[in-house]
């Protein structure tokens, strides 16, 4: 039977793709018990380091170690060059869009993007309309989710430009892989992650207000009970910046200060890991206990930079996503290098009717949900689930988009039943300084449940180390 998905490792049942030959040869020499033992060592190491995440709807206990699969994903240099150029192009266009939407709104006037799409987005904030963002840089970091179709073409599935999480796991996965399989790193030349956190710090310095040479930078976290707290603490520690909560900051005369043992210290840049709605109780949710009163006023005055910028959610709305190829043509006068997944906007009559008639075939998503929640995968859904979503769509079609069900590409994965194929995607991380910088590889997320297409950790997914090959390995593997 012909597979309806792309196999990342194998051209056919016996022959691996060129860049996987060395890995497959090494892995084939290991028995299941050896791989299982190394997998257990990885779990123990993650537990010791506190590499965990929180599942809020799990009644049995919320704290879990991040599931890690010891069989890496490998991307050839040729493939990566296409991804890199496509992501650089995409992030430039999205940044232009955000600057435009919060100033002149030319793209709306020229009817490239429907005005009603923007004004109905809950993440379009009038409070920051007209605010001058330093260097016009709205996106300090983005997490762009990529998948591969059945022919192996890379497609953009989603843009995450509010508070993308998971970057710390990119570094920790590489660290643990070097401990578990040191012999493999003698066989492959990989593009290095060594300078990426330096690049991240430089990107934060770049957006400091008023061109301050040595800005004080902090990472603002909701606290230790947040699902991504490990991510927050790791990044702050590695960049050498302070990890703060709202109680550590105060605003006086439109300036943000950090409380220290030596008194107040002015803060210039805030890498926030708090959603817009909770950032400032004077401007957004008044009952927020994790925000900083007066922060938005200091931001408007140009006395502090906030990364990512407030209001970015209007650009990673799942309905706005459908127009990113048009943004690339409009702002950059270029054709998109990376394609979108075909997307139906259910506020359009023809798309609405098509979706209701093809629920069995489609993936239905709420425009502003994340983490794999609030969506319907038609081919895997029960009649009851389809009935519920049908009623939701009829009641509020503007809140939904639909996409064809694409069987994500697969990779061999360690499971309780041995090595088996599981579906994967790739979260690529983009830093925007004077020009975009793509972190080599990113985070490969794997659906550990058999047959599942949902890779999110909160839904039973895990992650793999992602290797991007350098020149010498690419040449050797092609021989």
DSSP secondary structure, 362-390, as one string = EEEEETT--TT-SEEEGGG--HHHHHHHH
Percent of the chain whose pLDDT exceeds 90:
73
Domains and CATH numbers, the chain: 195-307 (3.40.50.11290)
Phi, psi (rounded to 5 degrees) for 54:
-115, 135
Model confidence at 479, pLDDT cuts 50, 70, 90, reads very low
**pLDDT category, 91, cuts 50, 70, 90?**
very high
What pLDDT is recorded for position 246? 97
96: helix, coil or strand?
helix
What tokens appear for 298 in the block? 């200091």
Distance CA 434, CA 437 (A): 9
* Alpha helices (runs of H) in 369-450, residue ranges in sequence order: 383-395
- Which range is least confidently modeled, 40-44, 128-132, 239-243? 40-44
Task: State yes or no: pLDDT of 152 exceeds 90.
Answer: yes
Q: Which residues pair with 65 in a beta bridge?
A: 52
Q: Which long-range contacts (CB under 8 A, 24 or more apart) does 354-363 make?
A: 354/402, 355/393, 355/400, 355/402, 356/390, 356/393, 356/394, 358/402, 359/386, 359/389, 359/390, 360/386, 361/404, 361/405, 362/402, 362/403, 362/404, 362/405, 363/402, 363/403, 363/404, 363/405
pLDDT digit string (tens) for 451-460? 888 787 666 6
Sign of the CA dihedral 85, 211, 278, 223?
Answer: positive
- The reported pLDDT for the residue numbered 312 is 97
Please, which pLDDT band fits residue 52 given cuts at 50, 70 and 90? low
Phi-psi label, residue 131: left if phi above 0, alpha if psi -120 to 50, beta otherwise: beta
| Stretch (H or E) spanning 56 | none
Task: Report pLDDT digits (tens) over 118-128.
Answer: 988 899 999 99
Tokens of 190: 């990989």
For the residues of 60-80, what is the DSSP string, one character each?
T-SEEEPPEEEEEEEE-HHHH
361, 362, 363, 368: CA torsion to nearest 10: -160
Average pLDDT over all residues of the chain = 91
Which residues, in sequence order, are bridge partners of residue 436?
A: 432
- For residues 302-316, give the mean pLDDT: 96
Closest CA to 352 of 393, 387, 381, 386: 393
- pLDDT above 60: residue 404: yes
Q: Which residues of 250-270 are buried (b: 16+ CB within 10 A; e: fewer)?
A: bbeeebbbbeeeeeeeebbbb
For the cut 80, the answer to whether the pLDDT of residue 70 exceeds it is yes
Please state, in angstroms and rounded to a whole number, the distance separating the CA atoms of residues 209 and 227. 30
Alpha carbon distance 20, 436 (integer Å)? 29
* Strands 305-307 and 141-148, sheet pairing: unpaired
pLDDT computed for residue 371 by the predictor: 56
Mean per-residue pLDDT, 382-397: 93
- Whether residue 370 contacts residue 321, with contact meaning beta carbons closer than 8 Å, is answered with no
The span from the first CA to the last CA of the chain, in angstroms, equals 31
Q: What is the 3-state secondary structure (H, E, C) of 327-367?
A: HHHHHHCCCCCCEECCCEECCCHHHHHHHHHCCCCEEEEEC
Instruction: Compute the distance between CA of residue 476 and CA of residue 435 in angstroms, rounded to an integer.
Output: 32
Mean per-residue pLDDT, 167-195: 92
Asked if 80 contacts 100 with a C-beta cutoff of 8 angstroms, the reply is no
| Residue 222 DSSP SS3 | coil
């Amino acid at each position: 039977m012909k597979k309806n998905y792309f196999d990342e490792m194998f051209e056919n049942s016996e022959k691996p793709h060129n860049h996987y030959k060395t890995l497959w040869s090494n892995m084939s020499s290991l028995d299941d018990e050896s791989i299982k033992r190394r997998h257990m060592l990885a779990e123990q190491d993650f537990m010791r380091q506190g590499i965990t995440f929180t599942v809020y709807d799990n009644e049995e206990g919320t704290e879990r170690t991040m599931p890690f699969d010891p069989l890496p994903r490998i991307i050839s240099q040729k493939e990566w060059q296409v991804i890199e150029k496509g992501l650089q192009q995409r992030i430039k266009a999205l940044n232009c869009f955000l600057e435009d939407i919060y100033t002149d709104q030319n793209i709306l006037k020229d009817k490239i993007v429907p005005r009603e799409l923007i004004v109905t987005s809950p993440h379009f904030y009038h409070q920051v309309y007209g605010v001058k963002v330093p260097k016009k840089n709205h996106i300090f970091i983005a997490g762009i989710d990529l998948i591969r179709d059945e022919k192996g073409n890379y497609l953009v599935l989603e843009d995450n430009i509010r508070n993308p999480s998971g970057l710390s796991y990119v570094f920790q996965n590489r660290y643990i892989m070097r401990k578990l399989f040191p012999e493999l790193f003698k066989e492959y030349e990989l593009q290095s992650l060594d300078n990426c956190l330096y690049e991240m710090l430089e990107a934060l310095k770049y957006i400091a207000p008023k061109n301050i040479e040595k800005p004080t930078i902090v990472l603002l976290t909701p606290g230790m009970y947040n699902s991504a707290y490990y991510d927050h603490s790791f990044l702050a520690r590695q960049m050498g910046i302070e990890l703060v909560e709202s109680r550590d900051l105060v605003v006086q005369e439109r300036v943000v200060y950090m409380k220290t043992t030596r008194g107040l210290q002015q803060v210039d840049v805030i890498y926030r890991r708090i959603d817009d709605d909770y950032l400032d109780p004077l401007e957004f949710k008044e009952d927020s206990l994790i925000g900083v009163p007066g922060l938005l006023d200091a931001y408007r005055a140009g006395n502090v930079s906030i990364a990512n910028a407030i209001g970015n959610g209007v650009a990673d709305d799942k309905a706005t996503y459908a127009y990113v190829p048009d943004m690339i043509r409009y702002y950059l006068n270029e054709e998109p290098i990376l394609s979108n997944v075909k997307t139906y906007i259910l506020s359009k009559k023809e798309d609405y009717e098509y979706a209701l008639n093809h629920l069995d075939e489609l993936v239905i998503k709420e425009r502003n949900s994340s983490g794999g929640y609030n969506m319907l995968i038609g081919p895997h859904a029960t009649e009851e689930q389809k009935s519920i979503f049908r009623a939701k769509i009829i009641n509020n079609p503007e809140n939904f988009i639909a996409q064809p069900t694409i069987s994500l590409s697969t990779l061999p994965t360690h499971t309780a039943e041995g090595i088996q194929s599981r579906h994967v995607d790739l979260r690529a991380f983009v830093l925007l300084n004077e020009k975009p910088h793509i972190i080599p590889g990113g985070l490969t997320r794997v659906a550990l449940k058999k047959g599942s297409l949902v890779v999110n950790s909160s839904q039973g997914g895990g992650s793999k180390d992602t290797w991007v090959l350098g020149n010498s390995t690419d040449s050797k593997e092609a021989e």
